[in-house]
Amino acid sequence: MFVRVNAALADRPHTLGDLGLPSESNPIVSLNEFTYRKGTEIYGEKEPAEYVYQVKVGAVRSYKLLSDGRRQIGAFHLAGDIFGLENGNTHRFTAEAVVDTTVRLIRRQSLETVAESDAMVARNLLRMTTKNLQHAEDHMLLLGRKTSLERVAAFLLEMDKRMRATEVMALPMSRRDIADYLGLTLETVSRALSRLHELGIIGFLGNTQRQIVLLDRPQLTSLDLQG
């Protein structure tokens, strides 16, 4: 199932070396691991940001809530992704495990200490923040101006690009999660997926509805209007 796919992904040489840290067993920066069960909170919005995280296996959602329960997911973090990098003292999102998820942790404090002396680490910090910013900027366009079908098409293409699972894409998240990411309801997401299925653009595999095959990528791309 999805676990196998994600495990394959985790085999990529993705370590916190992305931050420019010398190696996996760095004496300065402690690299602990922790596993969160499906649905559990990793940290809450406005909590002090003590750690920075990297997904080893699994998936994480970062979201904000309005007081009446409306939820906006800002990003999904998949294997290899680093999250919780706030550069303020508190987290700006709540982070939860979408499925059983193993993460690596670094103390934010030690990371900042290293960044202070190491220009390359500092540069990578900026590069990653910029990447997050770019994603948020693109997502604003989606949330502000795209139709439901365009949003779902964009979502599938994004996930396909990021998971790079050959052939079958095994989504870890529910329709509700997708909806809250795209600013829609779960019914609208379901209808859009059904429509893409009818049109022969995507296919479903197995009896869980989370395994998707992109049958007609050009068609999907044309639905996702970019610039």
Partner DNA sequence: CGGGGGCTTGAGGCCACTCAACGATAGTGG
Partner DNA sequence: CCACTATCGTTGAGTGGCCTCAAGCCCCCG
Residues that bind a copy of itself (CB under 8 A): 45-46, 64-68, 70-72, 74, 86-88, 92-93, 116, 119, 122-123, 125-127, 129-130, 132-134, 136-141, 143-146, 180, 182-183, 225-227
Size of the site for DNA (CB under 7 A): 22
Q: Which residues pair with 168 in a beta bridge?
A: 213
Least separation in angstroms between CB 192 and a copy of itself: 16
- CA-CA distance, 24 to 16, in Å (whole number)? 7
Phi, psi of 141 (to 5 degrees): -60, -45
Give the nearest distance from C-beta 77 to DNA in angstroms: 18
CA dihedral for 59, 64, 67, 68, sign (positive or negative): negative
Rounded least distance, CB 155 to a copy of itself, Å: 13
Q: Which does 140 bind (CB under 5 to 8 A by kind): DNA, a copy of itself, none?
A: a copy of itself
24 binds, among a copy of itself, DNA, none (CB under 5 to 8 A by kind): none
Among 115, 188, 202, 214, binds DNA (CB under 7 A): 188
Q: Which residues have C-beta within 8 Å of that of residue 129, sequence separation ≥ 6?
A: 85, 87
Which residues does residue 107 pair with via DSSP β-bridges, in sequence order? Answer: 51
Query: Which partner in a copy of itself, DNA, none is near 194 (CB below 5 to 8 A by kind)?
Result: DNA
Q: Taking CB under 7 A as the rule, does residue 189 contact DNA? A: yes
Q: Does 209 bind DNA (CB under 7 A)?
A: yes
Choosing among DNA, a copy of itself, none, which partner's interface includes residue 209 (Cβ < 5 to 8 Å by kind)? Answer: DNA
CB-based contacts of 141, cutoff 8 Å, min separation 6: none
Structure tokens at 214: 């992109």
Determine the Cα–Cα distance for residues 126 and 62; give it in Å rounded to an integer: 20
How many CB atoms neighbour CB 86 within 10 A? 16
Residue 210 Cβ vs DNA, minimum distance, rounded to whole Å: 5
Closest CA to 85 of 118, 107, 57: 107
The contact set with DNA (CB under 7 A) reads 147-149, 174-176, 183-191, 193-194, 204, 207-210
